[in-house]
Amino acid sequence: MAILQGTLDLLILRTLLFGSHHGQGIAHAIRRQSEEVLLVDHGSLYPALQRLEEKGWLLAEWGTSENNRKARFYTLTKAGRKQLTEETSAWRRLVAAVGRVLEPEGA
């Protein structure tokens, strides 16, 4: 399933909550944690990372992966953490609202 427009940022931020990751790791984590439902289009992953970095929510550094590969690691900044909290609650409200529309109480 393709990722809903606008939710990719949220998923990236969430994935980075417990530690830094490189791009492939983020994509993989999203796929795994969604139990193979959400497939990240790499064409949008990197522009998204770039965007988040420019907004100051992520910090990027070149480092070395577990396989001893050179990779660019992304870490959540303080602003990013705050953004995540906001976006998460916004998302919850949205889901709840959509849910109410789809299955009205008493119907």
Partner 1 sequence: MWKRRRSTQDFSEEIRAHLAIEADRLRQEGRSEEETTFAARRAVGNLTAMEERFHEANHWCWLDQLRQDVRGCLRQWRKRPLMAVVALLTIALGTGLNVAIFRVVWSALLKPLPYADAAELVQVWGVEQADGGMSPADRRTPNGLTVQLWRSRSRSFQMLASYRPWRATVGSGGDPERVPAALVSAEFLPVLGAHAVLGRLFATEEVHPGTDDVVVLSYGYWKMRFGGDRDLIGNSILVDSKQCQVIGVLAADFRDLVTSGIRPPSVYLPISKVAKGPLKVFSGRVIGRLGNGVGIETARSELETLARQADVETEVNGKPRGVKITRIEDEVGYSVRPALLAMFAGAICLLLIACTNVANLLLAQAIGRRHELAIRAAVGAGRMRLVRQLLTEALVLSFGGVLLGLGAAWALCRSMVALYPGTLPRMAEGGATGAVLLFAVTLATLSATFFGVLPALLATSRTGDASLRAGRGGTLPSAGRWREALIGLQVATTATLLIGAGLLVKSFTTLRSVDLGFEPDHLFTAQVALPESRYSTEEDLTRFARLWVESLKRIPGARSAAVTNTLPLAFNLLTDVQFDVSGQAGKHRAGGRAVMGDYFEALGLRMKEGRALTAADDGRRDVVVVNESFVRSYLKSIPPLGAVLRFGPRPATVVGVVCDIHTLGLRRPALPEIYMPCVALPSPLVDVVVRSAVAPAEITAGARAELRQLDPGLALAQVSTMDRIVDGEFSQPRFQAVLLGLFAAVAVVLATVGVYGIVAQGVRARTQEFGVRLALGATAPNVFWLVVKQGLRAPLIGLAIGLVAALLTGRVLQTLLFGVTPRDPLVFASAAVLLAVVCLSSCGLPAQQACRTNVAQALRDE
Quickly list DSSP for 9-73.
Answer: HHHHHHHGGGS-EEHHHHHHHHHHHTTT--B--HHHHHHHHHHHHHTTSEEEEEEE-TTS-EEEE
Q: In the range 26-55, which residues lie near partner 1 by CB under 8 A? A: 28, 41-43, 46-47, 50, 54
> What's the min distance (Å) between Cβ of 81 and partner 1?
21
Stretch that binds partner 1, among 3-11, 12-20, 61-69, 82-90 (CB under 8 A): 61-69
At residue 46, what is the residue type?
Answer: Y
Q: Which of 84, 65, 74 is nearest to 11 (CA)?
A: 84
Stretch that binds partner 1, among 11-19, 67-75, 83-91, 94-102 (CB under 8 A): 67-75
Instruction: Give me the 78-107 binding string for partner 1, x by CB under 8 A, dash otherwise.
Output: ------------------------------
Q: Which two three-digit tokens encode residue 89?
A: 């609650």
- Residues forming the site for partner 1 (CB under 8 A): 22-25, 28, 41-43, 46-47, 50, 54, 65, 67, 69-72
